[in-house]
Amino acid sequence: MDAFYANAELVRNPALRGLPVAVGGRRGMQPLPGQQFPTLAQYQGRGVLTTANYEARALGLHSAMPTMKAAKLAPHAVLLPADFDWYKTLSRQFKTAVRELAPNVEDRGIDEIYIDLTGETGGDYEAAIELARRLKAAVTRATGGMTCSVGLSENKLTSKICSDLQKPNGLSVVRPDQFQEMIWPLPVGKINGVGPKAQEKLKAMGVNSIAELAAQPVDLLQMRFGESYGLWMHESAHGIDRREVTLFSEPKSISRETTFENDMHVRRQRDNLTQVLEHLADKLSQDLARKQRLAKTIGVKVRFADFKSLTRDVTTGLTVRTADEVLQAARACLKKIPFEDKGARSTIRLLGIKASHLITPAEDALEKAAEESRRTKGQAQLFLDLEDAP
């Protein structure tokens, strides 16, 4: 989906179309009927942008940008608070519209999916292009005017790359014999999985484009980046991706976090931080209940005023589900973080809790039954050993 959060706001605020819009303000900045929309110039405090529409991006705004910096670049841009319940509603609507035409869908998040069109088109590209146009139109109808960009190719890696070639509202096609012509000239960072650190190492090797990456010997890449990652980079640069569209995937983790408008001192504002921690634990427990999951591991994330982050986690023998259980585990994690009374680690700007190693209640019951069986057998064996003792 194109600039999903920002365009979701345009659906219910059509008057903002054509104006620069950023998402990430405080909930109190939500405009009331008949009032003017708040702007970045009015914002005070901490925080980062969740996203920005294309008009705002043209002014230099982007996701994860500190809001105060964005205010200096585009003070008159509209700033709206994130409304994730609304975004989830639109996400369900666009995915439902897609599945009605092409059911083989891999969900990759709130605003992105992979679709296997082979069954509907028999692998014919012209038929796939026509179906892609119908999918785009269906998404726009289902969401009240939102647009999406589609990349059509023989695998997920290339489709991901070419979906960005004609944003917004684009449809890009890369046939197998067009990979070198269309993909090789692009920067290596266009390959999903080649991050900033890898790009810096490649740049030091004189590798900036995908074509230059493709020209590197695979053994050299493996020597510089490791056997597995080096081979993956080599294959990706040649358009090789063996992954299939996965129709269902279990959530690996669930997290909740908040960025403070002003830095919080870990000692002097301990009561305030406790309230925030309790709120996050409550929300996370609700997420676990809604997704019908239990957690074996709970972790916390703290970002200090200097933007450096620390994470700590605990894994217990018991599964965690309730707010009190999450809170107790989170407090245990916080005890592992070396806070200070003064200096860089005395104030924090972000606090988060994450639940991982998730299992279903049925899996938890089976594990407990198996453990009880092992314990009972152990007791029985001990009894027999005692009976056989001379």
Tokens of 127: 């038929």
d(CA 192, CA 196): 11
Is-contact 138 97, C-beta < 8 A? yes
The bridge status of strand 150-152 relative to strand 171-173 is parallel
| β-bridge partners, 304 | 348
Alpha carbon 105 to its chain centroid, in Å, reads 18
Closest among 189, 208, 192 to 241, alpha carbons compared = 192
DSSP type of residue 55: H
Q: Nearest-CA neighbor of 329 among 339, 345, 317?
A: 317
**Tokens standing for residue 354:** 């994450």
Stretch (H or E) spanning 192? none
- Selection from 49, 71, 74 nearest residue 59 by Cα: 74
Sheet holding 21-25, edge to edge: 51-52, 21-25, 78-81
200 labelled catalytic: no
Residue 216 and residue 207 in contact, taking contact as beta carbons nearer than 8 Å: yes
* DSSP state letter for 206: T
Dihedral sign from CA coordinates of 18, 52, 78, 147: positive
Selected catalytic residue, list 55, 100, 112, 340: 112
Tokens linked to 148 = 């999406």
Rounded CA separation 4/54 (Å): 11
Alpha-carbon distances of 61 from 48, 52, 196, 314, 322, rounded to whole Å: 11, 6, 19, 37, 39
Contact 40, 79 (CB under 8 A): yes
Residue indicated by tokens 């319940």: 85
Place of tokens 């290339």: 158
- Which helix or strand (DSSP H or E) is residue 11 part of? helix 4-12
CA 167, CA 190: separation in Å to the nearest integer?
A: 14
Catalytic positions: 112
